[in-house]
Structure formats: structure tokens, C-alpha cells
Amino acid sequence: MDCIFCKIVAGEIPSHKVYENDSFIAILDINPSETGHTLIIPRKHNENIFDLDEDDARELMPLAKKLAIAIDRSLHPDGMNIRQNNGTAAGQEVMHYHLHLIPRYSGASPDKKDFTALAEAISDQII
């Protein structure tokens, strides 16, 4: 399979991991909308929400909440978008289900270009 997220999950392509468990990995988006933009990616390949494994679906929202809290504690954004796109018409660019956690800032976003340090800062706040 030629899926970039499957390659990231398999460790074939480097990423800045924020979190991982048996079902998911969470990484910093390499082209972030804002500082701290994080992607939650199931380890199992499913193209979109219509194909998402039921067990992964049940586990996803509690994980999203946990990671959103960690982002909030580490970066102190003024808000956060939690977004998921299904199909190219909806803006999905990688055809492997993923959920975006995008911190939003009223003023300038924190100037944190060091992805390794940023991933560690978020990881350190996960409870």
C-alpha cells in the first residue's frame, strides 16, 4: 500500500510523535495550520469515517479529549478546532482516516518551530 500514514505508522517515514498506543499514533502535522496542530491516526488503514473500525471509533473521542487537554496545558491556545474530513470534496488529502486537533490563537501563535521540543512539551502534559 502506498499510504503515507501507513508508512508513518510502520516507522518507514519519520514523524514527531506526541502519543501512541496499540490502536493509534498522534503526530504533529508537518504542514501545520497553527503551532501544535496534531493528527490522530489509527494504526489500521481505513479510508474515512465510513470505513473506520468500530473499536477505533469508540476509543477515538476519549483519546482526542486527552490530547486536546495536553495541547491546552502545554501551549495555552485561545481555542481549538477538532476537524475530520471525508473524501476529496470535503478536503481530505490523505485517504487514511485521521482527526485534526488544531489549537487556535487570538494573537500570534507561539513561535515554536522545533517540532521535537513541541512534541515533547505536549507529550509531557498527557495524563
Mean pLDDT calculated for residue range 25-33:
95
Rounded distance between C-alpha atoms, residue 15 and residue 48, angstroms:
21
Exactly one of 16, 37, 96, 98 is catalytic; which is it?
98
The pTM of the full predicted model, rounded to 2 decimals, is 0.94
Residue-level pLDDT at 127: 86
How far, in Å, are 53, 68, 112 from residue 108 at the CA level?
A: 38, 20, 11
Mind listing the pLDDT tens digit for each residue in 3-21? 999 999 999 999 999 999 9
Q: Does the annotation mark 100 as catalytic?
A: no
Mind listing the pLDDT tens digit for each residue in 59-81? 999 999 999 999 999 999 999 99
Please state the domain extents for the chain: 4-123
Beta pairing, strands 24-28 & 38-42? antiparallel
Q: Does residue 82 surpass a pLDDT of 90?
A: yes
Average pLDDT taken over every residue of the chain: 95
Q: What CATH number does the domain located at 4-123 have? A: 3.30.428.10
Nearest 5°: phi and psi at 118?
-65, -45
